[in-house]
């Protein structure tokens, strides 16, 4: 033994060649269990939907309580968590376009102008939002001193200004 050695003493040469014992390694693991195979598993797997339309989901995270369609191949959905989403009808299926966290509470209603260019949403949070549907843009945010109940676009064809009538819930 040299005086400059640091650490535990080296084991004797014959101990290095010995097999490790259970005390050195630990308990033996039980054999792996076989995975249970269902009787019709392959048929179940074949029946699962697959395709591009299932690769990404834009659905609402909460209950959809409002839907309105426009004459310009768009539709708008609103949900109880305050989200308003815009969708475009395609030749096959629909395409998600844009979403807004428009209201603090449930979307209580949706309305679209006669030409499908303007949309509105309102909520018990005492707000109404106006959207440019074709450009997917929120263009006006109205704060009211009442709780909106119903709304309808009252503009006629050819009028220069769009007008929205908004009623008091109470």
Residue ranges covered by each domain of the chain: 62-168
Between 3 and 131, the higher pLDDT residue: 131
**Whole-number pLDDT of residue 60:** 85
CATH superfamily of 62-168: YVTN repeat-like/Quinoprotein amine dehydrogenase (2.130.10.10)
Q: Which of 121, 145, 143, 142 is nearest to 131 (CA)?
A: 121
Residues 166/148, Cβ–Cβ less than 8 Å:
yes
Does the pLDDT of residue 50 top 70, yes or no? no
pLDDT band at 170 (very low <50, low <70, confident <90, very high): confident
Whole-angstrom distance, CA of residue 83 vs CA of residue 99: 7
Cα 87 to Cα 3, 60, 101, 117, distances in angstroms? 82, 12, 15, 14
Between 68 and 32, the higher pLDDT residue: 68
**Whole-number pLDDT of residue 44:** 80
Whole-angstrom distance, CA of residue 106 vs CA of residue 8: 71
pLDDT band at 2 (very low <50, low <70, confident <90, very high): low
pLDDT tens-digit map of 62-71: 899 999 999 8
**Whole-number pLDDT of residue 26:** 66
Residues 114/155, Cβ–Cβ less than 8 Å:
yes
- DSSP string across 72-137: TSEEEEEETTSEEEEEEE-SSSEEEEEEEE--SS-EEEEEE-TTSSEEEEEETTTEEEEEETTTTE
Does the pLDDT of residue 117 top 60, yes or no? yes
**Whole-number pLDDT of residue 93:** 82
What's the predicted TM-score (pTM) here? 0.65
Does the pLDDT of residue 130 top 90, yes or no? yes
Cα 134 to Cα 9, 23, 120, distances in angstroms? 82, 74, 13
């Amino acid at each position: 033994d040299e005086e400059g050695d640091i650490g535990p003493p080296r084991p004797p040469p014959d101990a290095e060649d010995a097999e490790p014992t259970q005390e050195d390694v630990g308990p033996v693991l039980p054999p792996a269990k076989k995975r249970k195979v269902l009787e019709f598993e392959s048929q179940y797997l074949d029946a699962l939907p697959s395709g591009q339309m299932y690769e990404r989901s834009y659905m609402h995270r909460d209950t959809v309580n409002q839907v309105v369609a426009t004459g310009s191949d768009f539709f708008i959905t609103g949900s109880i968590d305050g989200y308003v989403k815009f969708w475009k009808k395609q030749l096959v299926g629909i395409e998600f376009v844009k979403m807004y966290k428009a209201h603090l509470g449930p979307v209580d209603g949706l309305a679209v102008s006669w030409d499908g260019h303007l949309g509105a949403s309102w909520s018990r949070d005492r707000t109404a939002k106006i959207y440019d549907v074709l450009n997917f843009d929120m263009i006006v945010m109205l704060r009211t001193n009442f709780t909106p109940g119903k709304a309808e676009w009252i503009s006629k064809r050819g009028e220069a200004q769009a007008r929205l009538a908004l009623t008091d819930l109470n």
